[in-house]
Amino acid sequence: MAIKIIEHNTIEELKREARDTVDGRYQLRLNTIILAKQGVKTKDIFEKMLISKNTYYHWLHSYNDGGTEALKAIKRVGQKNGNPKYDDKIFKEVFEKLDLMEEYWSIPKMQKLVLELHNVQVPYETMRMRIKRAGYSYKSNRQKEDDKLNALREKAGNIGAFKVSQKYKSKCSSCHGVNGSGFLNGKPMMGPKLIGQNEEELYTKLSDFKAGRKENMIMKGLLIKLNDDDLKRFAKEIGEFPARAKALEESK
């Protein structure tokens, strides 16, 4: 029997919350609620989000009872008390700093910033994952990346004419867009932008997702049955998106 979801938030509000959070597990719960509100079949949600039936209904009941705050408060079963916990405010300040920076940045520089401001030593890998999860590219500035993406999207023109493989359509387009922009009809989608990343960078990220070095259960589930050649083909195809967008624009 289907559970009716209480309208605590609109889908757009939930998407904004998912984009803004630095908590990967809270983000997973939010995306699950989004799919449920969009009318996706329960079985498909289990497979897409790689969660059990009990977990799914636990999250739904929690959201119905207390909205996003209840989702955020869900405790992870079996979590080790020894794992370090960091105030999310620390990382939000880092992201604000990155948005203002004109010069190149580095992870050690961000570690030093947190140490100076809060006297907290955040491990390199933790800082790297937090920054990556927030959508920043190494040694770059998010605003510059957004400007670059906007230019590429303008070149893409009619997305319906943007040709991609059937495998990309089936595994990637529903979250990242047909042209990898991360937008559909001017609205942000669940997945981040792909267009503008080079082949080598994409292959490394895909390999890390499959191996679990980058924590994302959705991506791991999508990639787990693919071999190394499949990952290379995906990286090559997506890496060619800017050139395809340019060719499409020039053909008009």
What is the residue-level pLDDT of the chain in tens, covering all 252 positions? 568 899 999 999 998 888 888 787 888 899 899 999 988 888 888 877 778 888 889 999 999 999 999 998 887 544 444 456 677 777 777 777 766 655 566 778 888 888 887 778 888 778 877 777 666 655 444 445 555 555 555 444 444 456 788 888 888 888 888 888 888 777 788 888 898 889 999 999 999 888 888 888 788 888 888 999 999 999 999 998 888 777 777 665
Confidence at residue 192, expressed as pLDDT on a 0 to 100 scale: 86
pTM over 0.95: no
Closest listed residue to residue 224, CA positions, set 210, 241, 242: 210
Q: What is the pLDDT of residue 222?
A: 85
What DSSP element (H or E) covers 33?
helix 24-37
Give the tokens for residue 167: 């495998």
pLDDT (0 to 100) of residue 237: 92
CATH class of 143-244: mainly alpha
- The pLDDT value given to residue 81: 47
Buried b (16+ CB within 10 A) or exposed e, 49-87: bbbeeebbeebbebbeeebbebbbeeeeeeeeeeeeebe
What are the residue boundaries of the structural domains of the chain, listed by start? 11-73, 88-140, 143-244
Query: CB neighbours of 63 closer than 8 A, spacing ≥ 6?
Result: 5, 6, 8, 29, 33, 70, 71
pLDDT score recorded for residue 124: 78
